[in-house]
A and B are shown apart, each in its own frame.
Chain A
Amino acid sequence: MSTESATHLRDESGPFFGEFGGRFMPESLIAALDEISAVYEEAKADPTFAAELAELHRTYTGRPSIITEAPRFGEYAGGARIILKREDLNHTGSHKINNVLGQALLARRLGKTRLIAETGAGQHGVATATAAALFGMSCVVYMGEVDTERQALNVARMRLLGAEVISVTTGTRTLKDALNEAFRDWVANVSDTHYVLGTVAGPHPFPVMVRDFHKIIGEEARAQVLELTGALPDAVVACVGGGSNAIGIFHAFLDDPDVRLYGYEAAGDGVETLRHAATITKGRPGVLHGSRSFMLQDADGQTLDSHSISAGLDYPGVGPEHAWLSSIGRATYLPITDAEAMNAFRILCQTEGIIPAIESAHALAGAIELGRELGPDATILVSLSGRGDKDVETAGRYFGVLDEAALAASALEQNALDANELTDGEAEAGELDHDAALTAAARQALDEASSRVDDLSAATGNGVER
């Protein structure tokens, strides 16, 4: 039994992965977690559940997602053969839909009519809002105030899909606080609400269940790479925040000992600074959000703020299965800074015509480092977990290619329209001042934006760095 499980890493199914995982939750939620565990076990044994999910993936998600060779990108990675698993082409733009559709089907089995979710970059929130619309369920998404500002486009997407987005203003106002709010909502509304946790963290059974819904990534990719190259890849790489896309692509390879697995954590300004989200690299074991894993914390066990240019990786914890894979040496976790990720982001845009999510750019940066180490004979499979549409503003600003003046002009126009609406049928005296103030504010914004564009243009123009 023990030798059996030691040779089949894929069979680990919780609640513990080695010393990691478990269920550290308020008693009020234990019944709901037990119910999910039971219904999930039933569903796993029921072929109609698998068939339903497969049909949704075929006709709605767009699975199987393709693989794409990236030879021009590979030139920057020591000439290694780079193969991208294109989760960015899924409906809603990332891997997140895999888990959400699975959990929505379960929620229906549980008789729940309301879905709640936490979101960082907004990808999981968008996926949950999408599933709620598809299944005719109501949806509330919790998002840290800081993230609603840097991912405004995804907030709008969720609202267009009919979800209510609640901006979380407690704690550090980022992803971890969105999880706290979602748990609080769930405690109060557990009778009709399913919490669609978006990553392989949280209390059992979430780490196992979310992994199972994502393992299709690696199962497809393993067969696709074998078919394309006649062999398994030398390495599989993915970005790691909570770790859902990484575990999804790793899982099918866990028992292939010759395939190296690399997870890339967000190092923000650098792991030598305090502004990073490199949980396994710099954290130590603790209990956060219901499971024991690595986390960023101070001496007293208070969770530390994390930082990353990528909202989706800006989380001070990590899934327990990753902590375990790291502890037994099966997977290696390394830090990638904001600057390294953004460099890889630009390289992929300009060599392959693919705009990646900034999260996925961390995996690309890792592939560049690894390719240079392994050389031109190596094949590296990269999880391209999401597309960069949501990041256009962040990246545009980072590289100084965003036309801030045009944005400000469009804001000016909008303000004028709003002001006109206000003056229609209203008393004039106050409105004139209001109008003038708006115009002045917009002018100032325009001036500031133009000077910023000048600064940025001066600083760029160096193209792709090798």
Chain B
Amino acid sequence: MSAQSTPTFRAVSPVGTAIQRANSARKGALIGYLPVGFPNLAESIDAAVALVENGVDILELGLPYSDPVMDGPVIQKATQTSLDNGFRLSDAFTAVEAIRARVDAPILLMTYYNPVVQYGIDRFADDLVSAGGAGLITPDLTVDSGAHWIAASDRTGLDRVFLAAPTSTDERLRLAVDNSRGFVYVVSTMGVTGARGDVDAAARTLVERLRANGLAEGSPAASTTGACVGIGISTGDQVAEVLEYADGAIVGSALVRALADGGVSEVARVAAGLAVGTAR
């Protein structure tokens, strides 16, 4: 099939656009993570909608997976609950469609690679486009192993977020910058997901290194790529601190814990508190 003429192809990155808008109106973007199907499908959809209604600019929906090597205990427990409740991959598309019908924020799916491979990489991309999704974050797929996904996302115009770590060489940072669309996920600290008291100073250094390796300075234009910092961020103050040097802040475990402890109303309250950190 001819790539350019695919009717669903998007020339403009929805995630890049949202980051640009957040950076011109406020200090930067807030990206919120929740797993699909936790505590059940309906409530996970309501909780995601509540995030957007309370200041989250971009949604990151996690696909529960049996072997989540990048996730800490809070997210593991939630995704295991979702799997135990019978999560199916098709639920992710259902959730994206339902959320997009209620709020206008771009949605990235955060997924380990094997479920995408088994679904069929091209079919996955097509169904994600049909559901109104923006793209993928791939924690265990790097640029050098990701040719098939890069081709599928080029064909469909989906955003693709690769990770940059404090241990990445300059050469690898440049690969991540050149091949990501939407943003580069800046892994703030060496470790798995989970709230931490301090966001590592390594994040600031890493964003500087990304800028030195081709990442656009200041607010990213919609066609280019921002730097968003994740892992360990759990308070509005930490969001504000990160947005001093990055284009966006990503919060996961703190939101999942709020949802686990106090349901949709609690996750809404925590999101609103985090969003305070985006104010100039």
Contacts and interface: CB of A to CB of B under 8 A. Distances in A.
In order of increasing CB-CB distance, the 10 nearest A-B pairs are A301-B118, A31-B167, A188-B191, A301-B115, A28-B165, A27-B163, A301-B114, A303-B66, A183-B69, A287-B114
B118 A297 contact: yes
Given A26-B139, A300-B118, A302-B83, A287 B113 contact: yes
A289 B67 contact: yes
Interface size class of A (residues with CB under 8 A): 20 to 34
Interface stretch (A17-25, A158-166, A218-226): A17-25
Contacts of A190: 167, 190
A302 B65 contact: yes
A86 to B, nearest CB: 35
A189 B190 CA distance: 7
Given A188-B192, A288-B67, A27 B76 contact: no
Interface in A179-195: 180, 183-184, 187-191
A22 B192 CA distance: 22
A354 to B, nearest CB: 37
A427 interface: no
Given A180-B68, A286-B114, A27 B165 contact: yes
Interface in B181-208: 187, 190-192
B192 A187 contact: yes
A171 interface: yes
Contacts of A22: 145
B22 interface: no
Contacts of A170: 73, 76, 80
Contact of B140 (A25, A300, A303): A25
A459 interface: no
Interface of A: 22-28, 30-32, 170-171, 176-177, 180, 183-184, 187-191, 286-290, 297, 299-303
Contacts of B191: 187-188
B47 to A, nearest CB: 22
Given A288-B114, A300-B119, A27 B190 contact: no
A184 B145 contact: no
Interface in B137-151: 139-142, 144-145
24 contacts: A23-B145, A24-B145, A25-B140, A26-B163, A27-B142, A27-B162, A28-B190, A30-B142, A30-B165, A170-B80, A180-B68, A188-B190, A188-B191, A190-B190, A286-B117, A286-B118, A288-B67, A288-B114, A289-B69, A290-B140, A297-B114, A297-B118, A300-B89, A302-B66
Contacts of A184: 69-70, 72, 192
Given A28-B165, A28-B167, A180-B67, 13 more contacts: A23-B142, A27-B162, A27-B163, A28-B190, A30-B167, A31-B168, A32-B167, A170-B76, A171-B67, A177-B67, A301-B115, A301-B117, A303-B114
Contacts, number: 106
B41 interface: no
B70 A26 contact: yes
B88 interface: yes
A26 B116 CA distance: 16
B24 interface: no
B interface residue count range (under 10 / 10 to 19 / 20 to 34 / 35 or more): 35 or more
A31 B169 contact: yes
Nearest to B72: A184
B100 interface: no
B80 A171 contact: yes
Contact of A287 (B117, B142, B164, B167): B117
Contact of A27 (B117, B119, B187): B187
Nearest to A284: B118
B172 interface: yes
Interface in B96-139: 113-119, 139
- Is chain A's interface secondary structure helix, strand, loop, or mixed overall? mixed
Contacts of A177: 67
Nearest to A292: B117
B116 to A, nearest CB: 8
Contacts of B167: 28, 30-32, 190
A420 B83 CA distance: 47
Contacts of A27: 142, 162-165, 168, 172, 176, 187
B200 to A, nearest CB: 12
Contacts of A25: 140, 142
B66 A171 contact: yes
Contacts of B163: 26-28
A24 B113 CA distance: 8
Interface string B37-61: 0000000000000000000000000
A30 B164 CA distance: 10
B168 A302 contact: no
Contacts of A300: 88-89, 115, 118-119
Contacts of A24: 113, 140-141, 145
A297 B187 CA distance: 29
Nearest to A301: B118
Given A25-B140, A26-B139, A31 B118 contact: no
B119 A31 contact: no
A31 to B, nearest CB: 4
A133 B85 CA distance: 44
A303 B139 CA distance: 17
B236 to A, nearest CB: 26
A217 to B, nearest CB: 30
Contacts of B68: 180
Contacts of A26: 69-70, 139-140, 163, 165
B113 A191 contact: no
A381 B139 CA distance: 43
Given A27-B164, A187-B191, A286-B117, A303 B70 contact: no
A301 B88 CA distance: 10
Contacts of A32: 167
